[in-house]
Amino acid sequence: MNQNIEKLNIALTYVKDTFVGKNDVIDLLGICLLARENAFLYGPPGTAKSAIVRTLAKTVKDGKNFEYLLTRFTEPNEIFGPFDIRKLKEGELLTNTEGMMPEASMVFLDEIFNANSAILNSLLMALNEKIFKRGKEAKHLPALMFVGASNVLPEDEALNALFDRFLIRINVDYVNPELLQQVLLAGRKLENNTETEIPEILSDEIRELQNLCKTIDLKPIYEVYLNTIINLRNTGIAISDRRAVKLQNLIAASALICGRNEAILSDLWVLKHIWDTEEQIEILEGIINRTIEKDENPKSHPQALQNKTPNPEEVMKDVKILVEKWNNETLSFEEQNVIKDKLRYLQTRCDWIKNPEQKQYIQQEIESLWQKILQSV
């Protein structure tokens, strides 16, 4: 395995050991870092979103970290830097970017959807093209990755373009109660600043890996990937041509971080995290799990194997909710499609239930609802 890949995996393992129960979040950040794509963290306060990014940034030995909490009143100077007074006296309008976002290798913008119109255009270009533009001034950004975070999803249409710039959307929730004791111990250790040797990787080493990522052979999964994108579009999940092109970088990154030079079917696991709404999270998980479940390659990414065994009671509860919605509500065509997609997902989950009696009972309930849906067509 490439020496730099080993370094990155050691760094990610260090962050995972520091934040118990957040392996999926950290693995996805590692994928985005390799692919040089932007990640969005979505979840309530107190789920360690900023702390995880900060700790990952510490492993980049020579990197500069820029972190900022946006408000509706945040001005461009606070993000990009003030105008250089010395140059201004000479008649030049240049920005003093020292210590600001245009010089950072890791950028974390908290409450990203508070971005106002004054900074939005510059921010969009920085996220999409990795270029800082202000007036006549233009500068290529050294950023290895941008991470945005929020505990709400955008409601204002003006912010949809900003949300679209984040290729991967990561749901960050409170940890499973079974892991809470480990979380308390790890948190106590972190707060007490117990000295632990931080593994290091250089920013240039990460850039080398980002270039290597572009050489990964995607031919083995190309046809399946193409059909998956068409399938997702047909289920109402909007994937623009631009996003479809960029998503290939994430698939390549999944292969590279596993030490492979070509993609395999299970690398499509990253597509579970391209949702626009919370309702799409389960739908995507069902569709993608169905696509990758036949891949038994021993070199699959660990996150590709996380098809959790479902709780039969939870599955039955979700089926009953769908039955009630179908029976009691006047549904639009779009709402009907959402129910069908969720039912397909639950059908897939049902296949993983181990108890045969519970499995058969739930399958009968699902089949009964399908009959009702077909009769209404």
What pLDDT was estimated at residue 89?
61
What pLDDT was estimated at residue 294?
76
What pLDDT was estimated at residue 191?
67
Q: What is the mean pLDDT of residues 126-133?
A: 89
DSSP 354: -
Q: Give the pair of three-digit tokens for residue 126.
A: 């920085």
Q: What pTM value is reported for the model? A: 0.79
What pLDDT was estimated at residue 88?
63
Express each pLDDT in 44-88 by its tens digit: 988 889 999 999 999 998 888 999 999 999 998 999 988 776 766
Q: What is the mean pLDDT of residues 168-190?
A: 75
CA dihedral 102, 105, 111, 116 (to 10 degrees): 20
Question: What's the distance, Cα to Cα, between the start and end of the chain in Å?
Answer: 55
Beta bridge partners of 147: 39, 108
Q: What is the mean pLDDT of residues 133-140?
A: 80
Q: Give the pair of three-digit tokens for residue 133.
A: 């533009």
pLDDT band at 35 (very low <50, low <70, confident <90, very high): very high
What pLDDT was estimated at residue 372?
86
Q: By percentage, how much of the chain surpasses pLDDT 90?
A: 48
Average pLDDT, the chain: 87
Q: What is the mean pLDDT of residues 133-154?
A: 88
Give CATH for domain 3-191: 3.40.50.300
